[in-house]
Amino acid sequence: MEKKITIADIARMANVAKSTVSRYLNGGSVSEKTRRKIDTIVSDYNYQPNALAQNLKLKINHTVGVIVPRLDSTAQVEMLRGLDAANDEDTFLIVNTYQSVARELAAIEKLRNQHVSGLIILTANITDDIRDALKAFDVPVVIQGQDEGDFHRVLMNDRQAGDIVGQYAMSLTPKKVLLLTIPEQQDWSIGHERFTGVYHALADYDVTTIHTKFNIDEARNDALRVMSENTFDLVIGATDRMTIGALQAGIATHQSAKYIGFGKSDLSTTVTPHLTSFEYDFYETGKLMYNLLKNVRENNPSEKQRLVFDGQLVERESTQNFY
């Protein structure tokens, strides 16, 4: 088992100067003779440069920080997968912040200290504190889901999604509609943008809106409370999980309705009925974010980039019949 060996060790063994070894490693001019000497030593000892020292000296760093608020969200994990798929040379420093602003600020500091060469933020809710911390960071930042002019960003076209779902909802001519969402302070795109079109389209309908959480169980419980008192014939949830929670509540209260969700995951086609859902391809979004970051690093554009990602409505059983 080879010990870790440094450039100085190689230099000593080969009877040359450190600088020569470095030149050898970086393709500078070295004579054939010394090249061979160094060559054998390097491979004998399986020399690997110390990335820390390199980064310190070169001030470049093939490390990208990724801040992800939740690992239990299909969308987030899909984006991670996409990031990873598009990545060819960087390693990712991933920090999970559990949607806590304090943890997020700490994460930003940490990544700053690690001198990452870029930052990808999957957080949906950029608070003032976070914005300031990010701006103090002299490194390209790509965010997602929030239309912040200060940063490069990839946006889900939630406005359009809401319009499409709103129109579609109208076409179902519902009598009584239940909407499940989250407070807009918590996630502007999901809590506000995504439902704008829906509110608009259903302005003249009998609509009840409740706030819930991102997971199935809480959504079911919250839905249960209203569904045990009222009967709905159309339920729209801001995410698939919420919608599934409501669906379970609907089954438990023996009422029949149509269901529409947002998102893209295995869940929508394992649940019975299969869920009609407005789907975004988060995997592709992730790829896009990484490529955007890469592009920014290489070309250093003067303007902040703004990419918008469209989704599409996928009709499945849950809006064909009543469940």
The answer to whether 239 and 275 are in contact (CB under 8 A) is no
Identity of the residue, 112 or 213, whose beta carbon is nearer to its own copies in the bound complex: 112
Residue from 3, 59, 88, 300 touching DNA (CB under 7 A): that is 59
In the set 39, 109, 150, 310, which binds its own copies (CB under 8 A)? Answer: 109
Give least dist CB 241 to its own copies, A.
8
How many C-beta atoms lie closer than 10 Å to residue 23's C-beta? 17
What's the CA gap between 124 and 280, in Å, rounded? Answer: 15
Answer yes or no whether residue 102 interacts with its own copies by CB under 8 A: no
Q: Which of 121, 271, 292, 293 binds its own copies (CB under 8 A)?
A: 271
The span of 53-61, 130-138, 217-225, 273-281 binding DNA (CB under 7 A) equals: 53-61
Q: Which helix (H) or strand (E) holds 180?
A: strand 176-181
Q: Does 26 bind its own copies (CB under 8 A)?
A: no
Please, what is the minimum distance in Å from the beta carbon of residue 49 to its own copies?
A: 6
Q: Indicate the residue among 50 and 320 with the shorter CB distance to DNA.
A: 50
One-character DSSP codes across 88-146: SS-EEEEEE-TT-HHHHHHHHHHHHHTT-SEEEE--S---HHHHHHHHTS-S-EEEESS
Nearest to 278 by CA among 295, 292, 265: 265
> Strand pairing of 312-314 and 276-279?
antiparallel
Q: Are the C-beta atoms of residues 79 and 104 closer than 8 Å to each other?
A: no
Choose between 72 and 315: whose C-beta lies nearer to its own copies. Answer: 72
Using CB under 7 A as the binding criterion, the count of chain residues that bind DNA stands at 30
Binding interface with DNA (CB under 7 A): 4, 6-8, 15-20, 22-23, 25-26, 28-34, 48-50, 53-54, 56-59
